[in-house]
């Protein structure tokens, strides 16, 4: 099919492509929420138990997504050859609550293969463009296979409330030089348009696990260039665990309580403390087997051992932990010894590396967003330095405070020259730009008051801890 040339052609084309995958995206979303249907259960069993036994859902998909998302925090943007972050970009980012919205967007990307960041004109403040995180259930962007840039994007909203008798549809079409808004009145009707003249579509996909081949398809038939869910290899194991856990509940209902047999007793002889005859259900829950033969003796069948269910679930948990790169204790698997800080960090190496890979790939998308913000602010040719804009991420690992401080100070106190400057050391220690600027101002004031003392203190500090440069323990 040729690339559409008219706006309404783009709307129709993007709608059809988006509709083709919404069902799959909604299914992935249900797995994250834990509302997916039960699988592997025989229909005869479902008919037999009816509503008596509810499905047991083990929230492994949510655990896997959240374990990665918790390590993905954007902390700012930085231009090349500058020590400090770009305060203006960070101001716009925070003014649009993107430090909070990106957390939700990362969950969507890990679960549903991608999410989008849209940039638009702010009619109330031209110097603060609108920046929003968008769900893949509402937005679809067409990617040029040659340039890998977005050719057009469509956002559709359907507001439906039967109690308030609201049923409205809206759409926004994003094109390289304009954004067009529509509403539905038996067909899409244009409401307004913004001639921003950016020369590029102001919608940036943040794609999880993208691949290079344009024509390669995943198991569901979707192009791998549009990403893959973090849950794809986990879902079959999660379904199996849910089925085993539900089977365990069935076993506990019917065979986990010992069945007692009474000879010489009929159902009519069973009464409660008030003399009322027990119903069949009450007798069943009492686990009594009555036999009218008076010659027999009382006996008891042993209860079933449910440990086979426990062992199966634990084995599935080990497989999931291996695929997801999670430490065993994340999956509730007990270890022989309590973990130390070092062993825990070693156990998280794969998880940390996986989060760092996301930071590298998604940082490029956020840098494109930063360049769009600056172009929309200035309306001029972009400063070439912004081609090398960097996204600043929080450390994906979880070192202790003492470990972080010790490593940062050691790098600053190496001989004959520090490996890193003092400002970088303070950044590694987790101080913000504002805190560092206050420290530098205080350092400057101290240098003016007592330059000789400051220099002498610096020389002494570089010699602290002996010849190996070890500063000693850090509190």
Torsion of CA 212, 213, 214, 217, to 10 degrees: -120
Mean pLDDT of the 61-70 span: 95
Considering the domain architecture, whether residues 220 and 243 belong to the same structural domain is answered as no
The 8-class DSSP code of residue 287 comes to T
DSSP calls for 217-270: B-TTS-BGGG---TTTTTHHHHHHHHHHHHHHHHHHHHTSSPEEEEET--GGG-
3-state secondary structure of 75: strand
Considering the domain architecture, whether residues 150 and 281 belong to the same structural domain is answered as no
Considering the domain architecture, whether residues 333 and 424 belong to the same structural domain is answered as no
Considering the domain architecture, whether residues 18 and 163 belong to the same structural domain is answered as yes
Query: What is the span of the domain harbouring residue 409?
Result: 399-475
In tens, the pLDDT along 192-225 reads 999 999 999 999 999 999 887 656 655 555 556 7
Nearest to 101 by CA among 369, 437, 435, 353: 369
Considering the domain architecture, whether residues 116 and 218 belong to the same structural domain is answered as yes
| CB proximity list for 102: less than 8 A, separation 6 or greater | 72, 74, 133
Q: How confident is the model at residue 26 (pLDDT cuts 50, 70, 90)?
A: very high
| CB proximity list for 456: less than 8 A, separation 6 or greater | none
Residue 31 domain-assigned? yes
Q: Are strands 259-263 and 288-291 parallel, antiparallel or unpaired?
A: parallel
Of 59-73, 161-175, 384-398, which has the strongest mean pLDDT? 59-73
Residue 389 domain-assigned? no
Q: Tell which wins on pLDDT, 44 or 240.
A: 240
Nearest to 474 by CA among 438, 425, 421: 425
Task: Count CA within 13 A, CB hemisphere, residue 133.
Answer: 21
* pLDDT for res 397: 83
Residue 345 domain-assigned? no
Give the Cα-Cα-Cα angle 108, 109, 111 (nearest 5 degrees): 65
* pLDDT for res 471: 44
Mean pLDDT of the 303-315 span: 82
Considering the domain architecture, whether residues 107 and 186 belong to the same structural domain is answered as yes
Residue 137 domain-assigned? yes
* pLDDT for res 446: 82
Q: State phi, psi for 300 to the nearest 5 degrees.
A: -150, 130
Is the alpha carbon torsion for 329, 334, 339, 342 positive or negative? negative
Residue 1 domain-assigned? no
Q: How confident is the model at residue 470 (pLDDT cuts 50, 70, 90)?
A: very low
Considering the domain architecture, whether residues 452 and 304 belong to the same structural domain is answered as no
| CB proximity list for 116: less than 8 A, separation 6 or greater | 133, 134, 135, 136, 139, 141, 153, 203, 204, 205, 206
In tens, the pLDDT along 122-146 reads 989 989 999 999 999 999 999 988 8
In tens, the pLDDT along 187-201 reads 999 999 999 999 999
Residue 390 domain-assigned? no
Residue 150 domain-assigned? yes
Choosing from 299, 323, 338, the residue where a domain stops is: 338
Cα 178 to Cα 203: distance, rounded to the nearest angstrom: 12
Choosing from 204, 226, 248, the residue where a domain stops is: 226
In tens, the pLDDT along 2-21 reads 789 899 999 999 999 999 99
Q: In what order do the strands lie in the sheet with 203-207?
A: 130-134, 114-120, 203-207
Choosing from 296, 317, 338, the residue where a domain stops is: 338
| CB proximity list for 181: less than 8 A, separation 6 or greater | 170, 171, 172, 190, 191, 192, 193
Considering the domain architecture, whether residues 212 and 248 belong to the same structural domain is answered as no
Considering the domain architecture, whether residues 73 and 167 belong to the same structural domain is answered as yes
Residue 121 domain-assigned? yes
* pLDDT for res 287: 47
In tens, the pLDDT along 396-430 reads 886 556 667 777 788 888 877 788 888 888 888 87
Considering the domain architecture, whether residues 403 and 284 belong to the same structural domain is answered as no
Considering the domain architecture, whether residues 319 and 409 belong to the same structural domain is answered as no
Six token digits for residue 157: 């909203």
Considering the domain architecture, whether residues 221 and 310 belong to the same structural domain is answered as no
Cα 120 to Cα 194: distance, rounded to the nearest angstrom: 9
Domain count, the chain: 3
């Amino acid at each position: 099919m040729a690339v559409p040339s008219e706006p309404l052609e783009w709307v129709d084309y993007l709608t059809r492509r988006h509709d083709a995958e919404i069902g799959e995206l909604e299914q992935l979303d249900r797995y994250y929420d834990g509302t997916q249907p039960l699988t592997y259960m025989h229909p005869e069993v479902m008919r037999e138990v009816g509503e008596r036994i509810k499905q047991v859902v083990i929230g492994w998909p949510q655990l896997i997504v959240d374990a990665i998302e918790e390590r993905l925090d954007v902390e700012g943007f930085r231009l090349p050859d500058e020590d400090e972050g770009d305060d203006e970009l960070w101001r716009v980012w925070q003014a649009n609550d993107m430090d909070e919205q990106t957390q939700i967007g990362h969950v969507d990307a890990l679960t549903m293969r991608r999410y989008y960041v849209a940039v638009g004109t702010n009619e109330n403040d031209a110097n603060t463009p609108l920046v929003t995180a968008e769900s893949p259930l509402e937005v679809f962007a067409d990617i040029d296979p040659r340039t890998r840039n977005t050719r057009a994007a469509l956002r559709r909203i359907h507001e439906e409330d039967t109690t308030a008798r609201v049923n409205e549809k809206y759409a926004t079409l994003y094109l390289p030089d304009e954004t067009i808004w529509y509403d539905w009145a038996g067909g899409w009707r244009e409401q307004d348009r913004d001639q921003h003249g950016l020369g590029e579509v102001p919608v940036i996909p943040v794609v999880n696990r993208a691949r290079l081949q344009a024509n390669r398809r995943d198991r569901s038939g979707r192009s791998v260039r549009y990403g893959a869910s973090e849950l794809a290899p986990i879902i079959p194991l999660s379904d199996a665990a849910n089925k085993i856990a539900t089977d365990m509940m069935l076993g506990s209902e019917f065979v986990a309580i010992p069945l007692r047999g009474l000879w010489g007793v009929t159902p009519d002889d069973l009464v409660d403390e008030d003399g009322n005859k027990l119903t069949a259900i009450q007798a069943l829950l009492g686990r009594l087997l009555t036999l009218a033969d008076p010659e027999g003796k009382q006996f008891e069948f042993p209860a079933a051992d449910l440990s086979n269910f426990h062992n199966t679930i634990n084995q599935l948990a080990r497989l999931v932990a291996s695929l997801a790169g999670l430490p065993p204790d994340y999956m509730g698997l007990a270890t022989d010894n309590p973990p130390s800080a070092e062993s825990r960090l070693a156990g998280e190496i794969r998880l940390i590396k996986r989060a760092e890979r996301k930071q590298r790939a998604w940082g490029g998308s956020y840098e494109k967003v930063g360049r769009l913000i600056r172009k929309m602010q200035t309306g001029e040719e972009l400063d070439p330095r912004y081609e090398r804009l960097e996204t600043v991420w929080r450390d994906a690992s979880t070192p202790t405070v003492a470990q972080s401080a010790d490593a940062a100070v050691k790098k600053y106190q190496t001989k004959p020259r520090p490996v890193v400057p003092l400002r970088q050391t303070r950044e590694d220690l987790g101080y913000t730009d504002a805190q560092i600027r206050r420290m530098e101002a205080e350092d400057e004031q101290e240098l003016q008051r007592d330059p000789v003392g400051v220099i002498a203190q610096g020389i002494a500090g570089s010699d602290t801890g002996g010849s190996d440069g070890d500063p000693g323990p850090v509190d």
